[in-house]
Amino acid sequence: MYECKIAEKLVELRTIKGATQEDVAQSLSVSNKTISKWENGASMPDLPMLVELSKYYGVTTDALLGLSEDKKQSTKEEVRAILEDLGRKESLLKAFEMVKSIIPAVYESGKLTEQENSAHDHEDIFPSEIPCCYRSQIRVRNFFEFVASSENVNVAVMMLQNKAKFAWLKDPSNQKEIVKLFKFLSCEDVLSVLYFIHSTACSESFTADYITRNTGVSEERVFEILDEFCSVGACHWVTAQLAEGEVKVYECRGDGIILSLLSLAFERMCGKPSYEYNFNGNSKMIGGN
């Protein structure tokens, strides 16, 4: 009887997850026949495998065994459980570690790589919106986090102190390079060109003439913008021999850092000053010697 309840639970969880027996078998490095036996009650997974199954389905082992209420934890509850017994310093470092681990974990699970060549790879994906208060912010001396989820912007930023104490910010050579990027982004026609380059309507390889025809910015100015973009962003160019002679061909698959900077600038200058939660502490992260 007990084995049947576990078997039913395994079938239920797999159905909810939308996985096949083969998917589960590959993830747990067992055979399809083993999964089948577990689900029809012919055999029971051992304790280590029960732990792996609970991780795979995102439930507790107690819920898997029917020993507690079968309720999946919210993301907030899961994070709280991870940080529960940690001190303040350990909690902040753990939070940063978790953020760094998210995308590698998704890739390693196969959820991204298996769909790279499928129609799902091209579907639009938007986080849930909070209509009235779509921002959240935590600001303390050695930790900063900002999240915005709206129709206009979906961005998350986390920053901790660094051992250099931001000394690079007062170095003249670094100042010059940083200012170069912000000077580049300070012109309206640059934003128009970047908008088109980052749209799916623009091919990955293009000429200045192509950008001019699609943005209305003069070809002479487009050359200036693209050459400057090559010096500050993820854009490159080569000389191609075409029928009309040598032509400069640019290549850009998009620049996430540039889009992130623009999104943050939009939020700072154009976003609504409303917050889901806002811990507005001291954000002076630069410590003195």
Cβ 11 vs Cβ 22: under 8 Å: no
Would you place residue 1 in the very low, low, confident or very high pLDDT band (cuts 50, 70, 90)? very low
d(CA 79, CA 96): 12
Kind and range of the H or E run holding 239:
strand 236-242
State mean pLDDT over 196-223.
97
Q: pLDDT of 232-259, one tens digit each?
A: 999 999 998 877 789 999 999 999 999 9
Please give the pLDDT value at position 269.
95
**Per residue, what are the HEC states of 183-232?**
HHCCCHHHHHHHHHHCCCCCCCEECHHHHHHHHCCCHHHHHHHHHHHHHH
Q: Residue 114: is its pLDDT beyond 60?
A: no
Please give the pLDDT value at position 119.
47
State what percent of residues in the chain have pLDDT above 70.
89
Please give the pLDDT value at position 228.
98
The tokens describing 142, both together, are 């050695």
Q: pLDDT of 76-112, one tens digit each?
A: 778 888 888 888 889 999 999 998 888 887 776 555 5
For residue 163, count other CB atoms closer than 10 A to its CB: 5
Please give the pLDDT value at position 268.
94
Cβ 263 vs Cβ 269: under 8 Å: no
Would you place residue 133 in the very low, low, confident or very high pLDDT band (cuts 50, 70, 90)? confident
The tokens describing 165, both together, are 């104490």
Q: Which residue has better confidence, 116 or 212?
A: 212
- For tokens 């992130």, the residue is 260
Q: Angle, nearest 10°, between helix axes 188-197 and 256-270?
A: 130
Q: Residue 27: is its pLDDT beyond 60?
A: yes
Please give the pLDDT value at position 60.
81
Cβ 258 vs Cβ 264: under 8 Å: no
Q: Residue 117: is its pLDDT beyond 60?
A: no
The tokens describing 47, both together, are 């304790």
Q: Please, which residues bridge with residue 135 across strands?
A: 148, 275
The tokens describing 118, both together, are 């499928």
Q: Residue 142: is its pLDDT beyond 80?
A: yes
Per-chain mean pLDDT for the chain: 87
* 89-93, 128-132, 217-221, 240-244: segment of lowest average pLDDT: 128-132
The tokens describing 205, both together, are 């390889």
Q: pLDDT of 149-206, one tens digit each?
A: 988 999 999 999 999 999 999 999 999 999 999 999 999 999 999 999 999 999 999 9
The tokens describing 63, both together, are 């819920």
d(CA 276, CA 268): 16
Q: Which span out of 112-121, 187-196, 279-288 was modeled with the highest average pLDDT?
A: 187-196
Q: Which residue has better confidence, 182 or 126?
A: 182
Please give the pLDDT value at position 85.
84
Please give the pLDDT value at position 74.
73
Q: Residue 289: is its pLDDT beyond 60?
A: no
Q: Which residue has better confidence, 120 or 94?
A: 94
d(CA 71, CA 49): 21
State mean pLDDT over 7-24.
85
Cβ 202 vs Cβ 196: under 8 Å: yes
The residues near 99 (Cβ < 8 Å, ≥ 6 apart) are: 158
> β-strand 135-140 against 275-280: which pairing, if any?
parallel
